[in-house]
Chain A
Amino acid sequence: MNWGAIWATAGAVIAALLAGIGSAIGVGITGQASAGVVSENPDLSGKCLLLQLLPGTQGIYGLLIAVVIALQSGLMSGDVSALTTTNGLRYLLAGLPIAFGGLLSAIYQGKVAVAGINMVAKKPTESGKGMVMAIMVETYAVLSLLISFLLVIGIK
């Protein structure tokens, strides 16, 4: 059994999986809040949509790291014979920051965005402030993405 390939696959899987779950939850709860606001005032759908999109980026970051792991380790081309167990484990570890950073930050960003959507319902002109509040949470997903990325491309 080629443990290197298995660990590397696990790294790609966990990055895409957990960050994707987080975004699904985040976008899900904001979508519910948006639907409530839009049912009262359909003109606000654009502003609500922008806020709903924000927690969706973690899933994309997770996918990104998964693809970079797959490309870098040779999973994509199918040639994994040179992949050592050590390097496979390194891929797995490198996937962890965006996996968990993405999972949790997407959920919390979703909660902030829900609050932002409620704010838009009351004060439609203040949607920009709601977006900035949500983006403060995303900072940590971006930092997770960064360290995952640097660690992955550092594996030669």
Chain B
Amino acid sequence: MIVPMKRLSLVALKSDQEAILNALQDAGTVEIIKLADGDAPDGEAEAVNARIQRLAESISAVKPYAKKAGFLSPQKREMTLSGMRQYVPKAEQTTGEIEELLHEQTRLLSEREKAESTRAALEPWTGLTVPMASVKNTARVHYFVGLCASKDVQRIHEQGYLEAEFLRESATVPTILACREEDARVAQTFLKTIDWQDYVFPKLQGTPREAIEKLNCQIKEIDEAYADAQKKLEAHGETIETLQNALDAETIDADRLNAKSDLAYTASAFVLDGWVREDEVEKTEKTISGVTDAYSFETRDPVEGEEPPSVVKNIKFVKPFEEVQTLYSRPAYGTIDGTPYMTPFYILLFGLMLSDTGYGILLMLGSWLYVKKKKPTGMSAGIARVLFWGGLSTIVWGILTGSFFGITRTDTSGGVFTAIGQFFNRIGIFPAWIDPMQNSMAMLGLCFGLGILHITAGYIVGAIDRFGKGDWKGAIFDQISWVLITLGLVIGFLPAITSMAGTPINLPGAVTTPALIAAAVGAAMVVLFKGREKKNPISRITSGLGGLYDITGVLSDILSYARLFALGIATGVIGQVFNMLSNMLTGSPNIVLRIVGAVMCIVLVIALHTFNVAINALGAFVHCARLQYVEFYGKFYESGGKEFRPLSYNTKHVQVTK
């Protein structure tokens, strides 16, 4: 059911604000509504937000070096709030160190890049045997240093006033030219006419060769310093828990500080407006009266135009399935929560899509272990429990349809697989009901039957909801009428349909005739009353006839349940194919090869079936969800509810305990 919400208005003294907000955050029952508009967060909040940013960056920097959490270790550590806060100063210091190391690494990288580019530019000049510093203009001699295209070397030779030294033969020749000072201008003009690129020696000691050696040493030193910083950074990997604890503690503080800017203030008091679940109003008031007795606490029902958050409440068994609904959309406030109605169908249909006892056992065990060891919270906790119940249903359907890790009664995979299949055949109760491979039409019929049941249930849920709201016209003409049409047509034409499929189910006319009459009554209700808002009788009937066209929608809804059969087949047959492949490895006449083959067969069987159960469980989960969202919820559900986000401990790594 959807929990009714109350609008809370709390007024208290500013001097108690800190304590009250602390207590409310601990209780986690109030979603605060922004009252003051656009007040920038104060300095304190800004500082916390900046610290959170830095902590998050440090965590992602050291994360690759942290010890990986075990596959089955709990998702969150348990810790008290004050316990978490103790990590903040240490984390502050660590963050500083990590930032310094990262900064140092960036500096070293850019230095290395600089040294490398200098070295690369010097590389052509190693032919120069005098120190670079000695190639400099004097009062009488002017030097030109640069790279000259090899095709222009001859032209330089032709200039009588130039003394040239070519240091290397290549496409661009490193060249040093010398001329008398008075010829410098002419030389410059000449150089512009050829492919010439000036080069300035870096301010380094010695010959280019010596300089390069020095640069090499320098690069090596930089590399060592970088590796050193890297090692220190990696050593910080073990501080990740400290950082995470501090991050969560700071996030908690930040949430509260940010909430402060949502309140309205007078000189000495503050006003807090928010949403509270009706069943938590008392707890909330108690929380505040525990802090102070100078307050005013008022609640009222939501009024027209307000959009309270949508929270659903269900018994423990149904609760995990709320996550399946949330994947689609929360119900609009004041409408109907589909979870309790969807749950039995979800379990039933999920199992039919996998329908393999072996896979069901794997799924149940796997999700049980996950919940037990990993202690997940939020969505993954819900989904794991959904898979647990889905696994149970899979086991049952596996027995009914006779499949165990892809092995059926008529298994032809060979070896031990066929032996197990023959055993199933001997005991005779596996499959207990229908063998989908031998009797696929019956199986398909079963799937459509379940679909009709599901769709009808959707209409009935909608009808009950509308009756409850006093909209009896809507309940009868828009919901019940379709139940009559669907069931009436199906029962009325059942003999005809089943005889087409080759296994006729004969119903006496005493059943089919009233069924067809009921369908006609339903159709008449739609034609006459679908457009009951319209005054004009012609447009009313037109709208009614248009409404009757929805029968095609119902038909395609029913056909959509064919996926139950197809996915069940896919799981079973692929499992069988995998068994067959694995068994081929054991066929060698050589005894040694046969033992090796048997070992590989076991490994392969485990790997392939793990793959098969994973991909098919994913498929079953989503396809089953779709059947709920489109075929079932389409009949009664109103989506679009807002999430309830109370001020609470919103942590990533730590589960806050008292």
A binding-site residues for B, Cβ under 8 Å:
50, 53-54, 56-57, 60-61, 63-64, 67-68, 71, 128-129, 131-132, 134-136, 138-139, 142-143, 145-146, 149-150, 153
Distance, CA A61 to CA B326, complexed state (A): 30
Contact B626 A142 (CB under 8 A): no
Contact B440 A153 (CB under 8 A): yes
In the complex, B233 has a CB within 8 A of chain A: no
Stretch from B238-246, B310-318, B417-425, B568-576 forming part of the interface with A: B568-576
Contact B563 A60 (CB under 8 A): no
- With known contacts A68-B573, A132-B629, A146–B565 Cβ distance under 8 A: yes
A38 → chain B, closest Cβ, in Å?
13
What residues of chain B lie closer than 8 Å to A146, measured between beta carbons?
A: 562-563, 565-566
In the complex, B75 has a CB within 8 A of chain A: no
Distance, CA A54 to CA B625, complexed state (A): 14
A30 → chain B, closest Cβ, in Å?
14
Contact B622 A142 (CB under 8 A): no
What residues of chain B lie closer than 8 Å to A128, measured between beta carbons?
A: 326-328, 625
6 closest pairs, A vs B, by CB?
A128-B327, A146-B566, A135-B622, A142-B563, A142-B566, A64-B573
Contact B573 A132 (CB under 8 A): no
Contact B327 A129 (CB under 8 A): yes
In the complex, B577 has a CB within 8 A of chain A: yes
In the complex, B369 has a CB within 8 A of chain A: no
Contact A142 B615 (CB under 8 A): no
Distance, CA A132 to CA B623, complexed state (A): 8
B561 → chain A, closest Cβ, in Å?
11
26 sample A-B contacts, Cβ–Cβ < 8 Å, listed by A number: A50-B618, A54-B618, A54-B622, A56-B615, A57-B619, A60-B570, A63-B574, A64-B570, A64-B573, A67-B573, A71-B412, A128-B327, A128-B328, A128-B625, A132-B328, A132-B622, A135-B625, A135-B626, A138-B623, A139-B560, A139-B626, A142-B566, A143-B563, A145-B566, A149-B440, A149-B569
B616 → chain A, closest Cβ, in Å?
9
B binding-site residues for A, Cβ under 8 Å:
326-328, 412, 437, 440, 444, 560, 562-563, 565-567, 569-570, 573-574, 577, 615, 618-619, 622-623, 625-626, 629
What residues of chain A lie closer than 8 Å to B622, measured between beta carbons?
A: 54, 131-132, 134-135
Distance, CA A126 to CA B567, complexed state (A): 25
Residue in A60, A64, A131, A153 whose beta carbon sits within 8 Å of that of B437 in the complex:
A153
Distance, CA A53 to CA B611, complexed state (A): 11
| Chain B minimum-CB-distance residue to A68 | B573
What residues of chain A lie closer than 8 Å to B563, measured between beta carbons?
A: 139, 142-143, 146
A55 → chain B, closest Cβ, in Å?
12
Distance, CA A80 to CA B537, complexed state (A): 68
Contact B615 A61 (CB under 8 A): no
| Chain B minimum-CB-distance residue to A65 | B573
- With known contacts A56-B615, A132-B327, A61–B626 Cβ distance under 8 A: no
B297 → chain A, closest Cβ, in Å?
33
Residue in B566, B574, B626 whose beta carbon sits within 8 Å of that of A143 in the complex:
B566
What residues of chain B lie closer than 8 Å to A71, measured between beta carbons?
A: 412
Distance, CA A90 to CA B569, complexed state (A): 21
B451 → chain A, closest Cβ, in Å?
14
Distance, CA A61 to CA B571, complexed state (A): 10
A6 → chain B, closest Cβ, in Å?
23
Distance, CA A60 to CA B569, complexed state (A): 12
What residues of chain A lie closer than 8 Å to B567, measured between beta carbons?
A: 142
Q: Which of A68, A71, A134, A146 has the most CB of B within 10 A?
A: A146
Contact A61 B618 (CB under 8 A): no
Beyond known contacts A139-B560, A149-B440, A150-B444: 15 more, CB 8 A cutoff: A50-B618, A53-B618, A54-B622, A56-B615, A60-B570, A64-B577, A67-B573, A68-B573, A128-B328, A129-B327, A135-B623, A138-B619, A138-B623, A143-B563, A153-B437
What residues of chain A lie closer than 8 Å to B327, measured between beta carbons?
A: 128-129, 132
What residues of chain B lie closer than 8 Å to A60, measured between beta carbons?
A: 570, 574, 615
B418 → chain A, closest Cβ, in Å?
13
- With known contacts A64-B577, A145-B570, A132–B562 Cβ distance under 8 A: no
What residues of chain B lie closer than 8 Å to A54, measured between beta carbons?
A: 618, 622
B175 → chain A, closest Cβ, in Å?
46
| Chain B minimum-CB-distance residue to A64 | B573
Contact B570 A61 (CB under 8 A): yes
Distance, CA A98 to CA B326, complexed state (A): 33
Distance, CA A135 to CA B570, complexed state (A): 16
A29 → chain B, closest Cβ, in Å?
19
Distance, CA A57 to CA B618, complexed state (A): 10
Distance, CA A139 to CA B622, complexed state (A): 11
What residues of chain A lie closer than 8 Å to B562, measured between beta carbons?
A: 142-143, 146
Distance, CA A50 to CA B380, complexed state (A): 14
A12 → chain B, closest Cβ, in Å?
12
Distance, CA A60 to CA B572, complexed state (A): 12
A87 → chain B, closest Cβ, in Å?
18
| Chain B minimum-CB-distance residue to A77 | B412
What residues of chain A lie closer than 8 Å to B618, measured between beta carbons?
A: 50, 53-54
Distance, CA A60 to CA B37, complexed state (A): 56
What residues of chain B lie closer than 8 Å to A50, measured between beta carbons?
A: 618
| Chain A minimum-CB-distance residue to B567 | A142
| Chain A minimum-CB-distance residue to B447 | A146
